[in-house]
Amino acid sequence: MLLLSVLGELLPSKSDHELVPEHELMNDKEVAELFKKLGIVMENLPRIYDTDPQAVKLGAKAGQVVRIYRKDGKNEYEYFRRVVEGK
């Protein structure tokens, strides 16, 4: 078991792959500003489960918002997901 634990720490995670976009947790102030700017509420955001590998990596809890940076050629776009409890 120890060997598996050590190997798991040494091997790259799928969530660190170059094709996985950067994810970050937003703080309460940023979330409030986002909702005001877009005129939306939490329920308007698409979901990401707290069991999603990126959410787990961030330590995201239900009720938080994750910002996702996606690149399309030279442009970078921000996407937002509300964290919900996984199934």
Taking 60 as the threshold, does the pLDDT of residue 11 lie above it?
Answer: no
Task: Write down the H helix ranges in 1-87.
Answer: 2-10, 28-38, 53-58
Look up the pTM and report it.
0.78
**pLDDT tens readout for residues 36-56:** 999 999 999 999 999 999 999
Q: 52 by DSSP, 3-state: which?
A: coil
Domain containing residue 9:
2-84
Whether 72 and 37 have beta carbons less than 8 Å apart is answered as no
Taking 60 as the threshold, does the pLDDT of residue 69 lie above it?
Answer: yes
Taking 90 as the threshold, does the pLDDT of residue 12 lie above it?
Answer: no
- Count how many domains the chain has: 1
The CATH number of the domain holding residue 56 is: 3.90.940.20
Taking 80 as the threshold, does the pLDDT of residue 66 lie above it?
Answer: yes
Whether 83 and 68 have beta carbons less than 8 Å apart is answered as no
Averaged confidence pLDDT in the chain: 85
